[in-house]
Amino acid sequence: MKTESLRRGLAFDSIVWVVPLVVAMILAATMASISAFDAHPDEVHHAAAADYYRTHWLPPKYGDPDAIPSYSFYGTSYLHERDIVYLLAGKWSLAVAPLVGDIHLSYRLFNLALLAAITGAFAWKREARPLLVPLTLSAQVWYVFSYFNADAFALAVAQFAAYQVAVRDSAFNSGITSGSYRGWWRGVLVLGLAIGLLLLSKRNFYVFLAFLAAYLALREAGWRASLGMTLATIVGVGWYFSVPIGAPQWLFACAGLVAISLILLDCWSQAPNPAFRRRVGMLITAGAIGLALFVPRAAYDKYVVENPSNAISSAEATAEIFAADRFKPSQIAEGSADRQLAMRARGALYVTMLTGGDRWLWTSFESMVGGYGYMKIFSSARFYALVGVIYLTFVASLVYGASRASDGTARKSLVLAGIFAVLVVLLSSLHSWNSDFQPQGRYFFPALVMLGVAIRDLRGRYPITAPVTAVLAVALAAYSFWDAGLGSIEKR
């Protein structure tokens, strides 16, 4: 009887799971108020990008004098990424900075407001609460909301998109069943906005869009279509990064045809169903709206920023001028740049990068659990080992619950989340191997949102060990943030 009461109290759709995020908001607000400016990764460059949009509306050309303060030692600027967060935060600061008397604090409040919005929006809807659970398990998630960066916005938008797709009475899912044009258009506009904002956010969240496509294919068409979407994503990643090394182009083309065939098999069998055609129409329209938000920025970059008539018309030329010594493209090409740039081209083995002296896997895991400052402040190795055991137990509990579920939806959702979580890690590692060695756990955040979708689909069909280990993870996250983060961060 006590076990059953505990199970109900700790169920992932319980209001109890809002409490850790309230704690996270308190800790993040404390970090935002006491930590020195630029005590956190690249905050000075994120803030400089937002500063530009305090007085501008359009992205700058390469080498624009007003944009130069935002250039890092790589010779690059976040202004030349397509992240809309800098425009939004810059305009936000015009209203908020005069109230708090500090521009930099106003930027931090922008991210804190995102965390508050997530907590408030999900707290009142029982079915949405399981989507929040993975965000409670890592102090690193809480940390990115405590200072200004682009990761927090992308994570918040991904949560919003997951809500629209996974929760039954979301605007999008309500539009599917609505008999009115108003409900239909409201659904596609809301999901289209989410897609567009994701396209205008951190690029490591693009894989989350692929996961959403596979998840929707599973729900609307069938398992084969979902596998086709998954295979198409894997093929795309392999082609982009030339993995396997030396694989011929025809191999990628054939694998792509197999993926398309799997998708068409399920879609063709469902095509006579009017309800299916209505749902597909909604998804296509939502995707078109998302692209309509993204394409103007892409076109502007192509035809204005990269115009050959400009004095500087490429990112490479800009980096050659503004990058610090050992970070210039010419030095990368000749092999005299910093050793952590273009490791693959220098002959470093992928496996060696993962597990050798650079310890990419372990460092990435540590910084996913909780790493502070410029990735210099960590807890003890034993702490991360303990968290690792708890995470493994948590995931194993979910797998056990899914394996015993009476329907296949929970199992297939968890399998999809697992496959795409591996892809998230793979993409981060390939970026480190090919371009710039950055073992940063924040690049794994898309996997947390995917896991939240799978947990929601489990609908309580998991053993008591799942919520118990989650509670332990929350407690350790709070300890890490308080002890290592707040205790050691550089203060104002």
Domain of residue 123 covers 2-488
Minimum mean pLDDT range among 41-55, 132-146, 170-184 = 170-184
SS3 of 347, please? coil
The predicted pLDDT at position 385 comes to 97
Tens of pLDDT, residue by residue over 325-378, are 999 999 999 889 998 999 999 899 999 999 988 899 999 999 999 999 999 999
For the cut 90, the answer to whether the pLDDT of residue 7 exceeds it is: no
The number of domains in the chain is: 1
What do you get for the CA distance between the two ends of the chain, in Å? Answer: 51
Query: What is the C-alpha to C-alpha distance for residues 146 and 153, in angstroms, rounded to an integer?
Result: 12
For the cut 80, the answer to whether the pLDDT of residue 407 exceeds it is: no
For the cut 80, the answer to whether the pLDDT of residue 299 exceeds it is: yes
Residue of 457, 401, 427, 381 whose CA lies nearest to 219: 457
Query: What is the C-alpha to C-alpha distance for residues 174 and 168, in angstroms, rounded to an integer?
Result: 7
Q: What is the mean pLDDT of residues 284-292?
A: 96
Query: What is the C-alpha to C-alpha distance for residues 225 and 269, in angstroms, rounded to an integer?
Result: 11
The predicted pLDDT at position 275 comes to 84
With bands split at pLDDT 50, 70 and 90, how would you rate the model's confidence at 8?
A: confident
Tens of pLDDT, residue by residue over 30-71, are 999 999 999 999 999 999 999 999 999 999 999 999 999 999
Query: What is the C-alpha to C-alpha distance for residues 99 and 491, in angstroms, rounded to an integer?
Result: 22
**Residue 35 β-bridge partners:** 491
Is the alpha carbon torsion for 455, 458, 459, 464 positive or negative? negative
**Which pair of tokens denotes residue 176?**
């599917």
Going by C-beta distance under 8 Å and a sequence separation of 6 or more, which residues neighbour residue 423? 207, 210, 233, 234, 237
For the cut 70, the answer to whether the pLDDT of residue 267 exceeds it is: yes
For the cut 80, the answer to whether the pLDDT of residue 480 exceeds it is: yes
With bands split at pLDDT 50, 70 and 90, how would you rate the model's confidence at 5?
A: confident
For the cut 60, the answer to whether the pLDDT of residue 308 exceeds it is: yes
Query: What is the C-alpha to C-alpha distance for residues 265 and 242, in angstroms, rounded to an integer?
Result: 29
Query: What is the C-alpha to C-alpha distance for residues 306 and 170, in angstroms, rounded to an integer?
Result: 40
**Residue 377 β-bridge partners:** 372
**Which pair of tokens denotes residue 57?**
């509306």
Angle between helices 151-166 and 85-100 (to 10 degrees): 110
Residue 79, phi-psi category: left (phi > 0), alpha (psi -120 to 50), beta (remainder):
alpha
Place of tokens 């992205």: 59
